[in-house]
Amino acid sequence: MAVWTVFQPEDEKPARALASWSDRVVFVREGFAWSAFFFSPLVLLWHRLWLGLLGYAVAEAALAVVVPMFLDGMAAVLLHLIPNLLAGLLLADLRRLKLERLGYEEVGAVVAPALAAAERRFLEGALAGGLVPVPATGTRPAAPFVAPAHGRAALVPVLGLFPEADRR
């Protein structure tokens, strides 16, 4: 099962015409992108990640100049795989940053085996009104509150699901 992060333009909501709204919803697959590892420049071009492609080209050019000075053989080949590895690891992050810069907002996440199933689950939930808002980043859950033990409120650390009893 894959996790898909869902983005939609900030100015559009499901109440608009279904066809135009659903066409603008974008799903970003989380995790390592094997396609970006094997075909980095093509995948970066496909997603129109121009800064990512520029960074990939600069890294490959720098490695092409520096590596032959110090290494040869299999070590040089392995070092040339580093930009491909980074492209595979960072593809989802680069796509998320691009969408946020274009004015999209993250509206949720869907777990599904394929993109078509993720789209179906998300759109069914959105049309049924079952979407749960995504909390703002950087928020922390409040500390657990335990009822007053001896006339005063006490913050007690929680281990697992249940607070430890005050044994005095």
Q: How many domains does the chain have?
A: 1
Residue at 151 is within a domain: no
Is residue 45 situated within a structural domain?
A: yes
The answer as to whether 153 is a domain residue is no
Residue ranges, the chain, pLDDT below 70: 12-20, 129-168
Q: Is residue 87 part of a domain?
A: yes
Query: 78: exposed, middle or buried (C-beta count within 10 Å: 0-12, 13-18, 19+)?
Result: exposed
* Residue bearing tokens 């590596």: 67
Query: Is 160 domain-assigned?
Result: no
Q: What is the spatial distance between Cα 114 and Cα 8, in angstroms, rounded to a whole number? A: 19
Residue 22 within any structural domain of the chain: yes
The answer as to whether 79 is a domain residue is yes
Measured CA to CA, the distance from residue 51 to residue 98 in angstroms comes to: 10
> What pLDDT, on the 0 to 100 scale, is given for residue 133?
47
Q: Is residue 145 part of a domain?
A: no
User: 107: domain range?
Assistant: 2-128
Selection from 79, 57, 84, 55 nearest residue 69 by Cα: 79
